[in-house]
Amino acid sequence: MNIAVIGAGAVGLFLAASFKRPGQDVVLVTKRAEQAALLADRGIGVTGKIKAEKNVQTQVGIGTKRFDLIVCAVKSYDVASIVAIGQSLAHDETRWLFVQNGMGHLKEIADLTGKVAVGVLEYGLFKEGDTVVEVRGLGSLKIAPFKRMTEQDITVIGDAADGQVLHIQTFPDHNPILEEKLIANACINPLTAITGERNGAFIKQQGYMAAMKSVFDEAVAVLGRNNDEALWHYVVAVCKKTANNESSMLVDYQQGRKLELDAILGYLIHLGEKKQIDTPRLLLLYQLLNRGETK
């Protein structure tokens, strides 16, 4: 199987290493020639709670080679550009897998031709330089069909991964797994970016816990999941499991990078507007973190 992984951040490095196994060609698509050269020389190093070294092919930008599986691991705000130019990588039976935070990217992939799946990655990852990703928290990659995907197609994706690196769970419906992760992202990531705290602080300090619960209440109201107590336990469990982690939004905020506000907070705010549900806390978080991005 020929596999392309688009995006060479922490998630892309980890997934490229995960899908590299005997008999499978993996091409990691990067933005920078410098990173591509380093990866070609050193390979991908996975450290921390999982240890592996994998050599993959690299290329800068979208080329012309066609792939059987295309894993899109870019930030949510870059999905539209990948969809616009990525069709050149696909053939009629190509399977796409999109692994992003939030749900804002779903409108971007709705018109994509081919077989499309979406995924939620629950590992705690930290990128060290251009070639190494540290696994700080164990989890799984949850995948589900989005359009034109059969059960067999999902099984093919699951079987393609190296089980010693990546644990994959498959689900019949994408909405529950994406909403679950969206709520966790909305409750944890913006508050960590604003306070500069690691995830675990929000279950150790009463004030932080109350703030997180108020954000949770708005998010579940918008999604119509008000009575789902299990979701709150899930958010708390994520904080416990990733207690020593810095959220991706906190890291991006500290490094002056664009934030995934539209995919997470913006998606919920817009949905609330459509349903005529007020979201003052979500809107406040968006406004505090907005550095010129549009909702």
Output the pLDDT for position 292.
66
181 is catalytic: yes
Return the residue matching tokens 């469990």. 237
**CA pair distance 246, 58, nearest whole angstrom:** 28
Output the pLDDT for position 112.
87
294 located within any domain: no
**CA pair distance 128, 131, nearest whole angstrom:** 7
77-91, 100-114, 178-192, 249-263: least confidently modelled range = 77-91
25 located within any domain: yes
The answer to pTM > 0.85 is yes
Of 172, 196, 223, the position where a domain reaches its end is 172
Output the pLDDT for position 90.
78
Helices and strands in the chain: count of H runs, count of E runs = 12, 12
Tokens of 280: 């003052």
295 located within any domain: no
Structure confidence at residue 294 as a pLDDT band (50, 70, 90): very low
Question: Tell me: the pLDDT tens digits for 197-255?
Answer: 999 999 999 999 999 999 999 999 999 997 788 999 999 999 998 888 899 999 999 99
**CA pair distance 226, 264, nearest whole angstrom:** 18
Q: Is there a single domain that holds both residue 155 and residue 220?
A: no
Question: Tell me: the pLDDT tens digits for 17-75?
Answer: 999 999 899 999 999 999 999 999 999 999 999 999 999 999 998 777 889 999 999 99
**Mean pLDDT of all residues in 106-114:** 89
Number of domains in the chain: 2
Q: Is there a single domain that holds both residue 87 and residue 146?
A: yes
Among residues 107, 88, 94, 116, the alpha carbon closest in space to that of 29 is found at 88
109 located within any domain: yes
Residue that wins the pLDDT comparison between 196 and 294: 196
Element (H, E) at 43: none
Element (H, E) at 117: strand 115-121
Kindly name the residue from 127, 181, 204, 275 that is annotated as catalytic.
181
96 located within any domain: yes
Output the pLDDT for position 295.
42
Is 10 within 8 Å of 97 (Cβ atoms)?
no
Is 42 within 8 Å of 15 (Cβ atoms)?
no
The answer to whether the Cα torsion of 125, 102, 190, 29 is positive or negative is positive
- Give the residue numbers spanning the domain of 203: 176-289
Tokens of 246: 């810095």
Return the residue matching tokens 């010129």. 292
For residue 124, what is the domain's CATH number? 3.40.50.720
Q: Is there a single domain that holds both residue 166 and residue 29?
A: yes
279 located within any domain: yes
